[in-house]
Structure 1
Amino acid sequence: MVDTGVYREAFRSADIPMLIADTNFAFRDINDAGLDFLGYEYDEIIGEPVGLIAGNEESYYEIIEHMLDEETWSGEFMVRRTDDRVVYGNGFATPIVIEGDVQGFLAFFLDTTKQRQYENVSEVLSRLLRHDLRNELNVVYGYTQQVASRIDDERALEELQLVQDKVLDIVHKSERARDLRDLLERSHDRSNRPVRLDVILQKKIVDATIEFPSAEFEFESFPKVEVIADDLLGEAIECLLENAVTHNDKETPQVEVSLERADGDVYIRVADNGPGVPEEQRDLIFGREEYDQLHHGTGISLFFADNVISSYNGDLWVEDDDEGAVFCICLEEDRPALN
């Protein structure tokens, strides 16, 4: 015998707005979360038509049609509160069928207002990073080139070159920030999949040798191996190769890349001959902690790489080497199931 009290208690105590309507689409019951969300008292709303809270007639009638056809409905829905404020969200409704007959309808609502606000802000930031900031920096870079063409002082030219390098660095960081924003936006519906790690590593090392001709990159032929990741894995590896060169204090930066497999995991090691990373700064460089509110990590590239690798349930850390530092990545290997 099913204890119906359990279901009533579950309905009442659920922390998302839920309601039950009768076959005339009038409120038969509503839980406490629904009352708090809508701003009504229980006696004010029971018996009232459900259309009272519909913020969009088209969606409301679509739901009605599904219920009359005894079909479940889910989708975007706007709710009108008692103060006339319209709230955006996702709704779900289904007929309540008892012994073959529809006795009413159950519906619940998830408020996505904050998510929509985030998407709006995210779009503005994307436009700023992708268009406005880049254009303004290109203008600054153009002016520095014009000034450089009219200067004969060697020291002034060297200092102007430093300005140009910083401008390009800011452009690069804005692109990293844009990629990280895209990663966060896709985090809810992105599915990881097998990708060829050996192909990605080879391509990114070739790209790095072109971008940093003064650096030396050492690696052996990588075995064919697939890991669970997505398209951003190459970007994360690029960040580590770039870091090994740009934060290197040697006249000739040396970077050694290796790959090994063990116990179902794949390990990538990027070793450099730079100054190394003090143990107390190893979380700081990934943006995992901060000195204070004004000092957040040491840059966006390692922060980006750390977040990407974490999204694969992988690990990224740094170790000491005889000379310099070793950045290590652990990823899950994709191996065919044995029959």
Structure 2
Amino acid sequence: MDLYGVSVRGLLVALIGFALTRFTVTLAATETTREFLFTGLIPLVVGLSLTAFGVVLAVGTYDELLLQKTLRWCLLGTGSMSILVVVTVVGVEPDVLTDPTVVREQTYLSNFLIGGSVGGALTGLYAARAARQRETLTQQTNRLVVLNRLLRDKVINSAMAIKGHADVLQDGLNDDSVDVVGRQADSIVQVIENVKYLSETADTDDISLGPVDVGNCVESELDTLESLNSDVDCSFDGPDEPVEVRANSQLAEVFRHLFENAVEYSDADTPRLAVSIEASRTTATVHVRDNGPGLSDEQQALLERGEIAEYDDPTTGFGMNIVRLLVEGFDGRIETSVDEDGTTVSVQLPRVAGDALEEGRRPRRRACRRQRLLLPSRSDWLRG
């Protein structure tokens, strides 16, 4: 949530710190210097620190989960402490609600509000870290399950084909069988290489990522789609200036699967595909809109949260899993929306950090060309 390039959540944290610090400043105006040094200096410093921390969150590039958790817990800490302060003041001075003088005498209790807000902010940071760790562990577990199924499915199918044609070759040379054996052997090698790549992307620190112009990537895949499907109606709406995200050449594979799925399973006379790019300070979101029958609830859960069935489910296929695994490798997110007119799949990717684009430090831009990931021959995007 940004406003003119500034995170609103971070700004709210800063405003909370600033507002609570004003109470401490009131202490400085009503008490002696000695009293203030003992009772107000530390809360003043802590409150100003919270304000500065909020400003850093507002202008910096931080994960949305961290911003959400920090603001939520900061508000919760401030609200909880406010209730305790009100109950304490009313219990000690019943006339506090009608006598402004009594209110000023109890101003020192506002220091507890600062403590509650700072404690809540720190709790939010810890909660965001714990949530991210749980999410990472879940993603890695699901990744291993998917890769195991992919490897087992493709290798077993290829091995069975090789075995069958090997029996044919025992009766004599057959050119068709020789070709099939060669293709299936190459297929096994390709799948193993792809599984290796996808397993390495489980940790983005272990793969090479750099700036990729997502607009060029999307346009290239749309051009390829239109060249292969003359009856498809495609439209693209993107910013004029380059929008660089942190990814690699496999980003094109994400859009290839999304575009091909939208066209292949459209039940309309003329398949329509509307693609747009929405850029913010920290992210770039590619919206892919089709006029098909819509993804099922299971398919949406798979794309958005990585929820996979306990047993193999051909209705989900491997294509959606590949898209999800690649986007996770880029530290991105996927959202879906289904209505009576079709499906919208939104792929949100982190933009390249500003400090990486400084003069003399700009990383080499990656070309958006990919090595096609070979998937099992069964339908990857079967709709329910």
TM-score, normalised with respect to structure 2: 0.41
**Higher normalized helix content (fraction of residues):** 2
Q: Greater strand percent: which structure? A: 1
